[in-house]
């Protein structure tokens, strides 16, 4: 499993549209679903900072995610540009894989 985390500061009044576009059934997830290696998207609301959200996009592997970005670059850029007005700031937190620790049970697959 592989996950990409993004943080968004959503402009006041744009929260509903942001949630529709970036949520698990939104425009981004629809684009990602074009690839068989996409697993799911979680949308998380920060309870301590108003208007701050995280997205967690799950993929089968880092290589699958990279291949998707290459294949869908133009559509990815178009969708990103079309939603810029919803956010005051966005930041890629990072790309993560589970840590395999010797002697522990394997991570549950999604």
- DSSP of 31-60, one letter per residue? HHTTSTTEEEEEEEE-SSSTTEEEEEEEES
**Count helices and strands in the chain by DSSP H and E runs:** 4, 4
Whether residue 52 contacts residue 9, with contact meaning beta carbons closer than 8 Å, is answered with yes
pLDDT tens-digit map of 80-96: 999 999 999 999 999 99
- Check pLDDT > 70 for residue 72: yes
Residue 100 has pLDDT above 60, yes or no: yes
Average pLDDT in the 9-14 region? 98
Q: What is the mean pLDDT of residues 27-35?
A: 97
97: helix, strand or coil: coil
Judge whether residue 110 has pLDDT over 60.
no
Domains contained in the chain, CATH given: 2-96 (3.30.70.100)
Residue 17 CA, chain-centre distance (Å), reads 16
């Amino acid at each position: 499993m592989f996950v990409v985390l993004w943080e968004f500061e959503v402009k006041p009044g744009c929260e509903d549209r942001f949630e529709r576009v970036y949520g698990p059934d939104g425009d981004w997830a629809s684009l990602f679903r074009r690839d068989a290696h996409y697993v799911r998207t979680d949308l998380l609301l920060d309870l301590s900072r108003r208007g701050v959200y995280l997205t967690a996009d799950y993929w089968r592997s880092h290589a699958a995610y990279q291949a998707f970005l290459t294949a869908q670059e133009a559509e990815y850029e178009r969708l990103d540009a079309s939603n810029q007005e919803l956010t005051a700031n966005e930041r890629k937190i990072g790309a993560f894989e589970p840590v395999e620790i010797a002697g522990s049970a394997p991570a549950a697959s999604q």
